[in-house]
Amino acid sequence: MTKTDFKHILVGVDDSADALLAFDYAIHTAQQLGARLTIVSVLESHEMSVYQVMDKDYIHGERRELEAHIQKYLQQAQAAGIENVNAIVSEGNPGETIVNDVIPHVKPDLLVIGSIAKKGVQRRFGSQAAYMAKYAPVSVMVIRE
């Protein structure tokens, strides 16, 4: 196997336009290579209020909603002909969670993520995609809108 013979692709989704492009790219690449595809979405607890985080029923409800929603991505990949596909939901900061928890657990060869092209001052601040590209222990394909 060469370094570009990807057998297992991990793609992060969050319904943003750039993540949808990354998902389409991951499906296309998995089709071409006959690769396994894992779809991940991260429940971002930092976007919740202190009261929501403390309410376990609220968090479990949010997680259930996300798990139900990610099934649509799974069905789309299956409809595209990807036979070996699964989906997972994790919690935390997306970049750190994917790099530190998901990748070691899933063991992909390639991470595909979206990134909105930023201009001006916004470029100077870190993004989830930049974090993952820098720290992921696997090859990373960043798809830009």
- Could you report the per-residue pLDDT of 73-117, keeping only the tens digit for each? 999 999 999 999 999 999 888 999 999 999 999 999 999 999 876
Cβ neighbors of 3 (< 8 A, separation 6 or more) are 139
* Domain range list for the chain: 8-144
Query: Tokens standing for 65?
Result: 């909603």
Residue-level pLDDT at 47:
52
- Could you report the per-residue pLDDT of 19-71, keeping only the tens digit for each? 999 999 999 999 999 999 999 999 876 554 444 444 444 444 567 888 899 99
Strands, DSSP E only, in the chain? 8-12, 36-43, 85-91, 110-115, 139-144
Q: Is 62 within 8 Å of 43 (Cβ atoms)?
A: yes
In CATH, 8-144 is 3.40.190.10: no
